[in-house]
Amino acid sequence: MTNPSLLILPGDGIGPEVMAEVRKVIDWFGAKRDLTIDVQEGLVGGASYDAHGTPLTDETMELAQSVDAVLLGAVGGPKYDNLDFSVKPERGLLRLRKEMDLYSNLRPAQCFDALADFSSLKKDVVAGLDIMIVRELTSGIYFGEPRGIIEEGNERVGINTQRYTESEIARVARSAFELARKRGNKVCSMEKANVMESGILWRDVVTEVHQAEYPDVELSHMYADAGAMQLCRWPKQFDVIVTDNLFGDLLSDAAAMLTGSLGMLPSASLGAPMANGRPKAMYEPVHGSAPDIAGQGKANPIACILSFAMALRYSYDQGAEADRLEAAIETVLAQGARTGDLLGPEGGTPISTSEMGDAIIGALDASL
């Protein structure tokens, strides 16, 4: 059997620093769990622009299409702010998402007990929280036509169009149901079927896919505005939430902040199933390249390590090893390990990026 493959694209700013800690984790799984992943590394964003004059070369794009999963650090930074739009670092990221057709964006909101005080909500509302927002990423109002600003009479009119085909809704719904089967087996679909035809179609298609293919998964529906309220009131009622591009943008940001620091948030973008039955996939921390702390050993590597945990679960079918890695992170946090971003108002002594990586490796060792 061939080993699973991974393309690592560290990118810019703190990207390479946090990725170095993921490398330690990957090596640990190879050495201690007999889980060898064939890793290749490439350039993206400003790093690729500096070397090749483009934020993503065709060769790296081809490589990304050929591997089981891509793990990206972060792109961008002030050095590249004045570049032409066509070669800005973000274009590399957008090209990967577009050409791999990654239509399903997964944003978990997971609250580690040791950080529950960080949330703006009461501790008992968020402690132990583990929900997943699945956002449709390649269609909807951000892409629909007609769009633009036109003149009408003597004033301007701004136009955007919410447009979804049945197949676009069905494929993201399948993605949510598949995920639910690997988690708490519950999906809540959110739209505004009370005021939008696209919402009526969304609800119909999600229901049809559920009845035909996933009757074993519990499905509920909620209007997205009520969903936003419920997310703040009692988020633990949810397991997987599936929603469109616009509502998902808002709901996933709100849900993420239930859990505290940007340095803790992973994400995945999934596409159609490949020949091996697993989805095309790119994993990345939610945070950016953090130029204010880059090169200083201050970055929290946990968001990127948790992104790798998602790859273990969703691309390599190694759910138990993903659980092991998440438990190791929970352990080091419970023991009080904190990078600077995790220190509360009372302060404390931060540890460095590599010390956090080493602590997680120590907890992995202790898990054996």
Q: 108 φ, ψ to 5°? A: -75, 150
Catalytic residue among 50, 225, 292, 365: 225
Smallest distance from the beta carbon of 294 to ligand NAD, in angstroms? 8
Does residue 50 touch ligand NAD according to CB under 6 A? no
Query: CA 198 → CA 48, 72, 101, 272, distances in Å?
Result: 40, 33, 22, 23
Find the residue with minimal CB distance to ligand NAD: 288
Which of 304, 352, 306, 354 minimizes the C-alpha distance to 330? 306
132, 296, 341 from 290: Cα distances, Å:
25, 11, 12
Range 54-83, binding ligand NAD (CB under 6 A): 74-77
Nearest distance from residue 74's CB to ligand NAD, in Å? 4
Q: Is 137 in the site for ligand NAD (CB under 6 A)?
A: no
Q: Is 182 a catalytic residue?
A: no
Question: Is residue 225 annotated as part of the catalytic site, yes or no?
Answer: yes
User: Residues 88, 192, 280, 298: which is the catalytic one?
Assistant: 192
Candidates 150-158, 202-210, 248-256, 281-289: pick the segment binding ligand NAD (CB under 6 A).
281-289
Pairing type for strands 104-110 and 266-273 reads antiparallel
The one among 63, 196, 201, 262 contacting ligand NAD by CB under 6 A: 262
- Total residues contacting ligand NAD by CB under 6 A comes to 20
Candidates 251, 288, 311, 312; binder of ligand NAD (CB under 6 A) is: 288
Q: Is 101 a catalytic residue?
A: no
299 binds ligand NAD (CB under 6 A): yes
Contacting residue, 240, 270, 303, 311, with ligand NAD by CB under 6 A:
303
Q: Quick one: which segment of 104-112, 171-179, 298-306, 310-318 binds ligand NAD (CB under 6 A)?
A: 298-306
Residue 31 β-bridge partners: none
Sign of the C-alpha dihedral computed for residues 19, 25, 27 and 30 taken in this order = negative
Active site residue 236: no
Q: Which residue from 92, 227, 235, 263 is in contact with ligand NAD, where contact means CB under 6 A?
A: 263
Contacts of 49 (CB under 8 A, 6+ apart): 55, 80, 83, 87, 89
The nearer residue to ligand NAD, 19 or 134, going by C-beta atoms, is: 19
Interaction of residue 260 with ligand NAD, rule CB under 6 A: no
Tell me whether residue 8 or residue 169 sits nearer to ligand NAD (CB atom). 8
Q: Is 341 in the site for ligand NAD (CB under 6 A)?
A: yes
Q: Classify the C-alpha dihedral 349-355-356-360 as positive or negative.
A: negative
Q: What minimum distance in Å lies between the beta carbon of 90 and ligand NAD?
A: 6
Q: Which of 110, 162, 269, 289 is the binder for ligand NAD (CB under 6 A)? A: 289
Query: Is residue 104 within 8 Å of 271, Cβ to Cβ?
Result: yes
In whole angstroms, what is the distance from residue 353 CA to residue 359 CA?
A: 10
Contact region with ligand NAD (CB under 6 A), list: 21-29, 140-148, 155-163, 287-295: 287-295
Q: Quote the CA–CA distance of 58 and 43 in Å, as a whole number.
A: 11
Is 113 assigned a catalytic role? no
Active-site residue (options: 142, 182, 323, 358)? 142
Residues with catalytic annotation? 142, 192, 225, 249, 253
Residues forming the site for ligand NAD (CB under 6 A) = 14, 74-77, 93, 262-263, 284, 287-293, 299-300, 303, 341
